[in-house]
Amino acid sequence: MHPLIMGSLSWIEYQQRLQDEAIVFIPCGALEQHGPHLPLGTDALLSTSVAQSVAEKIDGIVAPTVSYGYKSQPKSGGGQHFPGTTSLDGNSLSQLIRDIVRELARQGGTKIAVVNGHYENQWFLTEGIDLAIRDVGSASTLRVMRLEYWEFLTPDILAKVFLEGFPGFALEHAAVIETSLMAHYHPNLVRLDLIPDVAAAEFPPYDLFPQCSDWVHVSGVLSSAKSASVEKGELMADHIAKGIATALKQEFPSLVSVPDMVLNQKA
């Protein structure tokens, strides 16, 4: 039994962890094409792995992953036309997060971290958290941090990973960051030999609906993952986990179980 995983704890163990003011993590992803070299569950797998690695540092609890996400957009995820890309309406995702956050709060959870791994989820997660906060009322001490894990990649780390310049997070779909992190966390799910060698996508400064499938390379990638490596994955994973742990310690200050030594180590 893994003590960090909420679904593996008994209610008695869980209650004790809550009384110890453990942070509860909600990883959020998507079921979405990620080129020929990465699995459909990439966003959910990565948000889960990131949440678990942070939870290990600070004695947190990882709730079951929200494995479906908001609709894939051509300019950030390739679009809805790929087989396997299976998405929620925005309202469904918001209501799902609202229910989960409100339920955790009802049980006495006051510290929640929503770890997002799918670009298109951002505002719908924000909406769900906002509605949950409204539901529990102003007397509650519930506090929620929402984050995209890639935002913890600082310019110095990005410079080490992208020797020829960083193309921006939106074009990083199924590209260097996700492929390297998957090679680090889930090496048996990555096919490095199948990485497409395509030029970075160029998009107009607007969206069109219905979505235009011809805006995106047939492989589904928005820029090439050719320079991905397990070493880059390890570097980024380490930096992200330390960055998130430090932010949580700062924003949830009564967190006593974090040894400063661990957090202050340089990547």
Adjacent-strand bridge partners of 62: 5, 25
Four-point Cα dihedral 71, 53, 240, 101, nearest 10: 50
Contact 106, 200 (CB under 8 A): no
Asked if 127 is an active-site residue, the reply is no
- Does residue 77 bind Mn ion (CB under 5 A)? yes
CB-nearer residue toward Mn ion: 32 or 148: 32
- Does residue 148 bind Zn ion (CB under 5 A)? no
CB-nearer residue toward Zn ion: 148 or 178: 178
CB-nearer residue toward Mn ion: 33 or 224: 33
Asked if 43 is an active-site residue, the reply is yes
Q: How far is the CB of 224 from Mn ion (least distance, A)?
A: 17
Q: Identify the residue among 118, 186, 232, 239 touching Mn ion (CB under 5 A).
A: 118
Alpha carbon of residue 4 to chain centroid: 17
Alpha carbon of residue 42 to chain centroid: 10
Q: Identify the residue among 25, 26, 31, 43 touching Zn ion (CB under 5 A).
A: 43
Asked if 32 is an active-site residue, the reply is yes
Number of Cβ atoms within 10 Å of the Cβ of 224: 21
Q: Which residue is nearest to Zn ion (CB)?
A: 43
CB-nearer residue toward Zn ion: 18 or 230: 230
Adjacent-strand bridge partners of 66: 28
Contact 249, 185 (CB under 8 A): no
d(CA 36, CA 13): 41
d(CA 249, CA 225): 33
Number of Cβ atoms within 10 Å of the Cβ of 80: 17
How big is the chain by its Cα radius of gyration, in Å? 19
d(CA 61, CA 141): 19
Q: How far is the CB of 150 from Mn ion (least distance, A)?
A: 11
- Does residue 172 bind Zn ion (CB under 5 A)? no
Tokens linked to 208: 């069109």
Asked if 173 is an active-site residue, the reply is yes
Interface map 173-202 toward Zn ion (x if CB under 5 A): -----x------------------------
**Number of residues near Zn ion (by CB under 5 A):** 3
Q: How far is the CB of 214 from Zn ion (least distance, A)?
A: 21
Asked if 120 is an active-site residue, the reply is yes
Asked if 34 is an active-site residue, the reply is yes
Residues that bind Mn ion (CB under 5 A): 30, 32, 43, 77, 118
User: Active-site residue numbers?
Assistant: 32, 34, 43, 118, 120, 173, 178
Tell me which residues touch Zn ion (CB under 5 A). 42-43, 178
